[in-house]
Amino acid sequence: MAVFGAKQVTKKVGEDYSRPCVDPINNDQLARRVNRAREATRPEESTDLNFELNSDAIPEDFMKRDLVVDDRRHIVFAKETQLKLLAESKTWYMDGTFKYMSETGTYAFIRQMLCLPLLPAEHIRPTFDMMSGLNTAPHITRLLEYMSNTWINSTVWPVKSWSLYGQTVRTNNEVEGWHRRLNRRTGCAPPLYTLIRTIHKEVMEVENMIAFVNEQQLQRIQRKASQSIQAKLFAAWEEYRAGTLSTSDLLKRCSTFYRPVLPKRPEEVEMNEL
């Protein structure tokens, strides 16, 4: 069953309503009324994280886990089709937002750290250890601890599993695009059960997308800017293999390819392409 947003409903009704009207239709007011009417059909929203999920409001076999890790609650949703695809996939892509400080030295250091996946797997750990020894600033310590525990010394994600050295496809633009589309569809701070229903609808479209990909009806378009970065990166890798570029110089050069604009004040910026 298709689920439409309140503004979509009011816009469609307004377009179909051809009778003369004394007052113009205020779509925003109508949308608010539609949302209030829908609230009565949804489970009551909780004001904290210690709530019990209403299983009747969740699509069947969609919630896989409801667990607490380090005092933080995680609710995992997935369909068996998704899990099967993940298990069979050689590469997983993820989207993240990283906070930078406007201090130039910190900015450059973090930028190089985020480019570690572009090094050969066998050189990532030594380079990380070397860089960790060079920077002992207190505000960097937590980042180094996170990278060490989660990536460098992880038993779940060994270094060779996330090294992108020599790979053609590295960008996570599709993931970012999906997040942006989902944000547009749900709006700001959507009710929990509305969000769950929207995510479930996205999941149900996966099988159609797979069919299009298998039939080669979907193609990946690479922008000129990405093509330029790709060429620069492969040129740097070639110099590295030829021995004319050291590991540290390769890391520094890669960090100039993939970087957001340095903000004038601390704010969230996205590190694209990795």
- Per-residue tens of pLDDT for the chain, all 274 residues: 445 555 565 666 666 555 555 556 666 776 667 666 666 666 777 778 888 888 888 888 899 999 998 888 999 999 888 888 888 888 777 766 555 556 677 878 888 998 999 999 999 999 999 999 887 778 788 889 999 999 999 988 899 998 989 887 555 566 667 777 778 777 777 888 888 888 898 888 777 777 777 766 666 666 677 778 888 899 999 999 999 999 999 999 998 886 544 444 444 444 443 3
The reported pLDDT for the residue numbered 152 is 95
CB 115 within 8 A of CB 274: yes
Q: What is the pLDDT of residue 125?
A: 95
Q: How many residues does the chain have?
A: 274
Where in the chain are the domains? 55-91+171-214, 98-170+222-269
d(CA 218, CA 71): 42
Q: In the prediction, which pLDDT does 271 show? A: 41
Contact 115, 153 (CB under 8 A): no
Amino acid at residue number 22: V
Looking at residue 263, what is its pLDDT?
Answer: 43
Which pLDDT score is estimated for 274? 37
> In angstroms, rounded to a whole number, what is the distance separating the alpha carbons of residues 168 and 234?
9
Query: Among candidates 66, 105, 61, 95, which has minimal Cα distance to 81?
Result: 61
DSSP H helices in 104-223:
104-113, 121-134, 138-147, 159-162, 173-186, 192-204, 206-214
Question: How many C-beta neighbours within 10 Å does residue 24 have?
Answer: 7
How high is the pLDDT of residue 253?
92
Residue-level pLDDT at 267 = 42
By C-alpha distance, which of 242, 232, 257, 227 is closest to 115? 257
CA distance 173 to 166: 19
